[in-house]
């Protein structure tokens, strides 16, 4: 049969090709996938790749996708992670319906399968210490040695395994191992441990169990019990596939899901593994799991990323079989594109300096009309207050400007966005600090809206706010968390020594258009000429607004390299 390479004109990745063929040739009538997080941390952008793949395949094929918590390690797992994972998957836009499952729901069945393996003489209780087991395992170049306990009679194995379950032995003294092949070239097949004793309470089963199944053993059987058709995982599990298949073949299970591996997402200027992210949190290098500089889904959300931008990003990078690195710019462009079309424009002066219009009537305030989106009239207009005293950006004035500086300076005239043309008169400098404290200008009353009836042109347009009506806001300028592309590449430097010391700059004196105080936490806007910002969902107060910079208007890192 010819390979199915596209669907509805869209090229299919290699996994979707396999699925299309399995449906076309009748191997499966319904596709069932699963997303199997371990509840030992918060989800990150790498998990989003797996979520979009598994749930995406479900949606494209009218299939089913289960959310399964792989909770076999009681010492590292907590219920709060379960809740946050559910929240993140739902936020990304996916629905597991009535199918939230837990590997721990299968503990009894898994125990039964282990007894079946023992009865088939395919599993045994081993009393070697963990160090001995490691030593006996051999290496990639040397075969392993068989455990002296390998050929125990079935009855003795059954009795000992039951003893393990009932708490008869201390931790580390007994394990159940699959009896496969100690000389296999694949180390995973050298009698892997499938059960160990752990006297730890489990977040769902409490103290019911004193033994816990290992990941490899649990995963294939959970997939089987849920009738998963395609078990999609990342490349590091490729060497585990023979074990996945061996367990299901040996138990002669009625359903045998197909494991397919794909390349994990690696993103530059960040670290992705939960362990590393945990170190950043615990070392106080960031403010928690949802710090807006983190690539956790909760961090990205707080930073102002939308679910649509993350889905688009995952779509753009595709699914392949070779490990590769994706440049952070690709992720940043996805949110830039999204916000460019959806975010309303506003004015906010980040580093204000006062401008006084000498010929503007004292005490007068007028309202000027401004577009919410210059390319989208349907997004409407708003009114912004204008008066004699304004703030402009300190960097928009220069005492001795070079010719190419098209903003305000001695002898210059500029346009105030949606306002008037203003002409420089004088400025006042603080004698002690040398800082410019006030700039005096005159405005041309005939230029309301920004154009001169005599047709004269000005080169620059700058943003501004009314000094009297503006609201003070806190603005956090976020940038990449690391200064190097791959913080893990140089093994002689700890990754936390390569943090970008300017990844967060907090501005306390910014002045914003008054309507910005009416936003709700999570709302996004473009500050004209500055970037996209969102109302912080943790720290926002109606009388003390806080904005996070999601992304700049253009990529400023390309220049720095």
Q: Is 203 in the site for ligand ATP (CB under 6 A)?
A: no
- The token pair at 167 is 């708490």
Q: Of 356, 344, 370, whose CA–CA distance to 519 is shortest? A: 344
Task: Output the DSSP codes for 509-551.
Answer: EEEE-GGGGGPPTT-EEEETTTEEEEE-TTT-BTTB-EEEEEE
Does the active-site annotation cover 204? no
What does 545 interact with, of ligand ATP, Mg ion, none (CB < 5 to 8 A by kind)?
Answer: none
CB count in 10 Å sphere of residue 460: 14
Whose Cβ is closer to ligand ATP: residue 233's or residue 331's?
233
User: Up-side HSE of residue 442: CA atoms within 13 Å toward CB?
Assistant: 6
Residue 304 interacting partner from ligand ATP, Mg ion, none (CB closer than 5 to 8 Å by kind): none
Q: Which of 15, 36, 306, 527 binds ligand ATP (CB under 6 A)?
A: 36
If contact means CB under 5 to 8 A according to the sort of partner, which of ligand ATP, Mg ion, none does residue 36 touch?
ligand ATP
Q: Using CB under 5 A, list all residues that contact Mg ion.
A: 38
38 part of the active site: yes
Taking the C-alpha atoms of residue 261 and residue 504, their distance in angstroms, rounded to an integer, is 37
The dihedrals phi and psi of 349, each to the nearest 5 degrees, come to -100, 115
Q: Which of 21, 38, 159, 337 binds ligand ATP (CB under 6 A)?
A: 38
Helix (H) or strand (E) holding 17: helix 14-24
Question: Do 258 and 143 touch, CB atoms closer than 8 A?
Answer: no
Q: Please give the structure tokens belonging to residue 515.
A: 């309507």
How many secondary structure helices (H) and strands (E) does the chain include?
A: 13, 29
Residue whose CB is less far from Mg ion, 38 or 351: 38
Nearer to ligand ATP, 194 or 272 (CB): 272
Contact between 222 and 246 (Cβ < 8 Å): no
Rounded (to 5) percent helix, strand, coil in the chain:
30, 25, 45
Report the nearest approach of ligand ATP to the CB of residue 43 (Å): 8
User: Shortest distance, CB of residue 155 to ligand ATP, whole angstroms?
Assistant: 37
Question: DSSP characters for 132-170?
Answer: HHHHHT--SSS-----TTTT--HHHHHHHHHHHHTT-S-
Of the pair 111, 215, the CB lying nearest ligand ATP is at 215
Q: Can residue 219 be called a binding residue for ligand ATP (CB under 6 A)?
A: no
- Closer CB to ligand ATP, residue 36 or residue 531? 36
Q: Is residue 316 at the binding interface for ligand ATP, with CB under 6 A as the rule?
A: no
Q: Give the list of residues 6+ apart from residue 463 with CB closer than 8 angstroms, or none.
A: 347, 348, 349, 392, 393, 416, 417, 527, 528, 529
Nearest residue relative to Mg ion (C-beta): 38
Range 223-282, binding ligand ATP (CB under 6 A): 233-234, 264-265, 272-275
Does 545 sit near ligand ATP (CB under 6 A)? no
Q: Provide the 10 A C-beta neighbour count for residue 154.
A: 14
Q: Which does 233 bind (CB under 5 to 8 A by kind): Mg ion, ligand ATP, none?
A: ligand ATP
Closest contact distance (angstroms) between CB of 92 and ligand ATP is 13
Tell whether residue 331 is a contact of ligand ATP (CB under 6 A): no
Nearer to Mg ion, 38 or 245 (CB): 38
Nearer to ligand ATP, 48 or 348 (CB): 48
Query: Rounded to the nearest whole angstrom, what is the least distance from the CB of residue 286 to ligand ATP in the complex?
Result: 16
Scanning residues 171 to 200, which ones bind ligand ATP (CB under 6 A)?
A: none
Rounded to whole angstroms, how far apart are CA atoms 266 and 463? 39
Q: Name the binder of 49 from Mg ion, ligand ATP, none, CB < 5-8 A by kind.
A: ligand ATP
- Determine which one of 38, 78, 159, 389 is catalytic: 38
Please provide residue 331's backbone torsions phi and psi, each rounded to the nearest 5 degrees.
-65, -45
Cα separation, 126 vs 173, whole angstroms: 8
Query: From the CB of 47, what's the least distance to ligand ATP, in Å?
Result: 5
Per the annotation, the verdict on 274 as an active-site residue is: yes
List the catalytic residue out of 34, 68, 274, 345: 274
Contacts with ligand ATP in 42-81 (CB under 6 A)? 46-47, 49-50
Cα–Cα separations (whole angstroms), residue 398 to 388, 395, 405, 444, 480: 21, 7, 8, 21, 30
Q: Does 33 bind ligand ATP (CB under 6 A)?
A: no
**Count of positions on this chain that bind ligand ATP (CB under 6 A):** 15
Question: DSSP class of residue 382?
Answer: E
Nearest approach, Cβ of residue 311 and ligand ATP (Å): 14
Task: With contacts defined by CB under 6 A, name the span among 31-39, 58-66, 217-225, 340-348 that binds ligand ATP.
Answer: 31-39
Q: Which one, 184 or 266, has the nearer CB to ligand ATP? A: 266
List residues near ligand ATP by CB under 6 A.
36-38, 46-47, 49-50, 233-234, 264-265, 272-275
The catalytic residues are 38, 264, 274
């Amino acid at each position: 049969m010819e390979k199915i390479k596209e669907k509805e004109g869209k090229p299919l990745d290699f996994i979707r090709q396999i699925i299309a063929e399995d449906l076309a040739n009748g191997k499966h009538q319904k596709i069932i996938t699963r997303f199997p997080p371990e509840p030992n941390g918060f989800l990150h952008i790498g998990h989003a790749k797996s979520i979009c793949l598994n749930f995406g395949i479900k949606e494209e094929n009218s299939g089913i996708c289960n959310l399964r918590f792989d909770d076999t390690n009681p010492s590292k797992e907590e219920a709060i992670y379960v809740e946050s994972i559910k929240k993140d998957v739902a936020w990304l836009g996916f629905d597991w319906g009535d199918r939230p499952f837990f590997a721990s729901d299968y503990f009894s069945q898994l125990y039964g399968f282990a007894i079946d393996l023992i009865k088939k003489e395919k599993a045994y209780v081993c009393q070697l210490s963990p160090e001995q087991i490691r030593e006996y395992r051999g290496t990639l170049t040397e075969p392993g040695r068989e455990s002296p306990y390998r050929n125990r009679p079935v009855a003795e194995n059954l009795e000992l395994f039951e003893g393990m379950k009932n708490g008869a032995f201390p931790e580390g003294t007994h394990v159940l191992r699959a009896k496969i092949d100690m000389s296999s070239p694949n180390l995973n097949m050298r009698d892997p441990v499938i059960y160990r004793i752990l006297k730890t309470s489990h977040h769902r089963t409490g103290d019911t169990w004193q033994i816990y199944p290992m990941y490899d053993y649990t995963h294939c059987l959970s997939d089987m019990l849920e009738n998963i058709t395609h078990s999609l995982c990342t490349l590091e599990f490729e060497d585990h596939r023979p074990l996945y298949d061996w367990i299901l073949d040996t138990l002669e299970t009625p359903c045998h899901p197909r494991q397919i591996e794909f390349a994990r997402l690696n993103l530059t200027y960040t670290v992705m593994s939960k362990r590393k992210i945990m170190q950043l949190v615990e070392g106080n290098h960031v403010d928690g799991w949802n710090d807006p500089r983190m690539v956790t889904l909760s961090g990205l959300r707080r930073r102002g990323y939308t679910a649509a931008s993350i889905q688009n990003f995952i779509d753009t990078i595709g699914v392949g079989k070779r490990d590769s690195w994706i440049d952070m710019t690709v992720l940043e462009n996805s949110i830039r594109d999204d916000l460019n079309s959806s975010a309303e424009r506003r004015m906010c002066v980040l580093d204000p300096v006062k401008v006084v219009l000498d010929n503007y009537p004292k005490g007068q305030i007028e309202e000027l009309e401004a577009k919410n989106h210059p390319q989208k009239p349907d997004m409407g207009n708003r009114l912004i207050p204008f008066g004699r005293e304004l703030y402009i950006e300190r960097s928009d004035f220069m005492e001795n400007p070079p010719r190419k500086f098209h903003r305000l300076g001695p002898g210059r005239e500029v346009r105030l966005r949606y306002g008037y043309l203003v002409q420089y008169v004088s400025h006042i400098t603080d004698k002690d600090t040398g800082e410019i404290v006030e700039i005096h200008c005159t405005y041309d009353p005939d230029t309301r809206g920004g154009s001169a009836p005599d047709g004269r042109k000005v080169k620059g347009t700058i943003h501004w706010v009314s000094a009297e009506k503006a609201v003070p806001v806190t603005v956090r300028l976020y940038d990449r968390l690391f200064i190097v592309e791959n913080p893990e590449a140089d093994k002689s430097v700890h990754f936390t020594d390569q943090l970008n010391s300017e990844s967060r700059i907090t501005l306390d004196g910014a002045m914003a258009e008054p309507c910005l105080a009416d936003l709700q936490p999570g709302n996004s806007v473009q500050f004209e000429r500055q970037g996209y910002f969102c109302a912080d969902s943790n720290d926002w107060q109606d009388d003390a607004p806080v904005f996070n910079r999601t992304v700049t208007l253009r990529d400023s890192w390309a220049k720095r390299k």
